[in-house]
A and B are shown apart, each in its own frame.
Chain A
Amino acid sequence: GQNIDQPTEMTATEGAIVQINCTYQTSGFNGLFWYQQHAGEAPTFLSYNVLDGLEEKGRFSSFLSRSKGYSYLLLKELQMKDSASYLCAVVDSNYQLIWGAGTKLIIKP
């Protein structure tokens, strides 16, 4: 079966750095997305990786290793507004999106 694994919850301190991991086992791979979802709101796009390596976008970076079935989202200089759930999703061989359950990130002052 297809599976996306993310930690259920993480806690970090304002101003610090946090890394949210995502491992996947899917039938084929055609890209990986990260979305941010604040409580009670819709998911919003953060990043898309299809090749190995690090993609940097401001305070957020996303890394992909296809050989290891692994990605991470790195958030720097954490702000209180970064408290949200972070969703990992993989595009499989049929170009269908497979979603992880999400990681709830709690930022403490």
Chain B
Amino acid sequence: IAGITQAPTSQILAAGRRMTLRCTQDMRHNAMYWYRQDLGLGLRLIHYSNTAGTTGKGEVPDGYSVSRANTDDFPLTLASAVPSQTSVYFCASSDASGSGTGELFFGEGSRLTVL
């Protein structure tokens, strides 16, 4: 089934540990995004990539890093997890890179708990 795959779907992590959330899409979309979603708040952009080889910072990038070695994969890394990074993380893609006006396709989310 075409779309976006995220892994893991759920993870409990000790504070200070390193964690990588994986995201793969098979729609050949140029643009990819990482959001976090917290109760009572709108989706907040962490990092984005308009095309393979480029990345940019979103609204809440601190404590996170990304890479975009190819079109399909966009992993998100927490170098040293802290409890405030407990959240649901969504990866998304769009075929309207740079314009911000394309429909976003979301993965199923990764629920991360940092203790």
Contacts and interface: CB of A to CB of B under 8 A. Distances in A.
Interface of A: 4, 8, 30-31, 33, 35, 41-45, 48, 50, 87, 89, 91, 94-102
A97 B100 contact: yes
A99 B42 contact: yes
B101 A42 contact: no
Contact of B101 (A8, A45, A48, A101): A48
Interface residues of B, number: 18
Nearest to A41: B108
A91 B42 contact: no
B42 A100 contact: yes
A47 B105 CA distance: 13
A99 B40 CA distance: 12
A48 B44 CA distance: 19
Nearest to B41: A101
Given A50-B101, A91-B100, A95-B101, A42 B106 contact: yes
Contacts of B105: 45
B19 interface: no
Given A41-B108, A42-B109, A44-B106, A30 B101 contact: yes
B111 to A, nearest CB: 9
Contact of A4 (B40, B42, B101): B42
Contact of A99 (B43, B101, B106): B43
B104 A31 contact: no
B90 interface: yes
B45 interface: yes
Contacts of A95: 98-101
A35 B105 CA distance: 11
Residue from A48, A97, A99 having most chain B Cβ neighbours under 10 A: A97
Given A33-B103, A42-B90, A101-B41, 6 more contacts: A41-B109, A45-B105, A87-B42, A97-B100, A99-B42, A99-B44
